[in-house]
Structure 1
Amino acid sequence: MAHIDYYFATLSPYCYLAGDRLEAVAAKHGASITYKPFDIIAAFGRTGGTSPKDRHISRIEHRAQELVRQAKKLGMPFNLKPAHWPTNGAPSAYAFIAAQSAGGGDLGKLAQVITRNVWVDDKDIAENDVIRACLTEAGFDPDLADSGLLEGAETYARNLEQAVEVGVFGAPFYVFGDQRFWGQDRIEDLDLHLAGKL
């Protein structure tokens, strides 16, 4: 069976814009997905990137324009200046890891709900009640927000190490075998590759 490692950040606007397209592509090709939430800011520092707040003004301005354009193109609501960004993405990532380990819900939906809470709903995904609501909406036990914190922290750190090791430097990032696809705008390329056309 084909398998995709999906490196994502719960804080990333581009992961929000990915929507459910990865899951649709995986279903189309009978591929499985392992979700690997990781610390994108730490990855920037280790792979030659720069945190968004420290980028040159030309890059900041372009990012602002591009995010709005992509959201319009995809027909998705989007708030360029959410009330709680940046925030601490670790608690939501730990809860996601606990959910992946526990099962019982929809991981793709959970990734979408968490990122939507940042970029549309103006919620702080570092807050326990917000995380619990996200888990519930995606069909998981909300108590997962309070369990497996040590495992979550260890897996989150391990995901970062694996990301750097396999050449991941941004999010969303899709790894299929030795092929790497960076960005929500490369899901179509991943689809074509899985079909043997690219």
Structure 2
Amino acid sequence: MSGPIIHYFFVQSPWSFFGFRRAVDIAKKNGVEIIHKPCRAADVWQHGGGVPVSKRPKPRQDYRLVELKRWSKHLKIPIHLHPAHFPIDETFAARTIIAVQEDGKDVTGLTDTLMGDVWLRERDISDPNTVREALVSNHLSVEYLEYADMPHTAQIYDENCQSARERNVFGVPTYFVGDEMFWGQDRLAFVDMALRT
């Protein structure tokens, strides 16, 4: 099946972080585009019946940490299990990604940097200075900081969230190949297979 891969994610999701580079590599290997759609956790959870980590029952919270450790070791991607800035308002970071994307630029490096800022470097991605440094480190113009706050960018962010609801996305990362949905970074092998059949 031909692509593209449609990728719904939260910038601050550890599972999105674990899957991000692998999804990009799968798209590249199969010669298809991957379209990143950052969206709001509140919108996805409200539609799909999910709740923030802090409001989940303790057994689920505890097991989440077990799985994070397990996948971190398996993928050889170190993370802080309790990063200093999580949960966090990721609106500005997400809109900056969208602003760069709307200008036709590749957002792979920027998105990976911002996710790593949360889970590796324990930085505050709601702080414009953190986002500015992520732009600079990826050789992108700091003018995107201004575009991030423009109504057009906010509208696209809202449209991403609406699109996620319409496609019944209930958690992230979620990938689509055609109309087929794959929830979770542990389903990436199936995304790869779908592209090859």
Task: Pick the TM interval, shorter chain.
Answer: over 0.9
Find out whether 1:115 has 2:134 as its counterpart.
no
The equivalent of 2:12 in structure 1 is 11
Distance 1:147 1:53 in 2: 32
Q: Deviations over 1:63-114 (max 9, x none)?
A: 011011101110011000111111111000010000101134x312222111
The equivalent of 1:152 in structure 2 is 153
Of stretches 70-79 and 19-28 in structure 1, the one that deviates more from structure 2 is 19-28
Of stretches 20-29 and 121-130 in structure 1, the one that deviates more from structure 2 is 20-29
Of stretches 129-138 and 114-123 in structure 1, the one that deviates more from structure 2 is 129-138
Distance 1:165 1:65 in 2: 32
Unaligned segments of structure 1, at least 5 residues: none
Secondary structure at the aligned position of 2:143 is classed as helix
The equivalent of 1:182 in structure 2 is 183
User: Structure 1 188/55 Cα, relative in aligned 2: closer, same or farther at 3 Å?
Assistant: same
User: Structure 1 90/148 Cα, relative in aligned 2: closer, same or farther at 3 Å?
Assistant: closer
Displacement after TM superposition at 1:148 (Å): 4.2
Find out whether 1:128 has 2:128 as its counterpart.
yes
Do 2:16 and 2:172's aligned partners in 1 also have CA atoms closer than 8 Å?
Answer: yes
What are the within-5 Å matches in structure 2 for residues 18-167 of structure 1? 18-104=19-105, 106-149=106-149, 150-167=151-168
Distance 2:137 2:189 in 1: 28
Of stretches 81-90 and 39-48 in structure 1, the one that deviates more from structure 2 is 39-48
Distance 1:65 1:120 in 2: 18
The equivalent of 2:3 in structure 1 is 2
Distance 1:145 1:185 in 2: 33
Of stretches 138-147 and 151-160 in structure 1, the one that deviates more from structure 2 is 138-147
> How many equivalent residue pairs?
195
Distance 1:120 1:37 in 2: 20
Displacement after TM superposition at 1:167 (Å): 1.6
Do 1:6 and 1:33's aligned partners in 2 also have CA atoms closer than 8 Å?
Answer: yes
Distance 1:110 1:146 in 2: 16
Distance 1:22 1:109 in 2: 13
Secondary structure at the aligned position of 1:80 is classed as coil
Unaligned segments of structure 2, at least 5 residues: none
Given the two structures, how large is their TM-score scaled by the length of structure 1?
A: 0.94
Secondary structure at the aligned position of 1:7 is classed as strand
User: Structure 1 148/82 Cα, relative in aligned 2: closer, same or farther at 3 Å?
Assistant: closer
Distance 2:41 2:118 in 1: 16
User: Aligned letter for 1:127?
Assistant: D
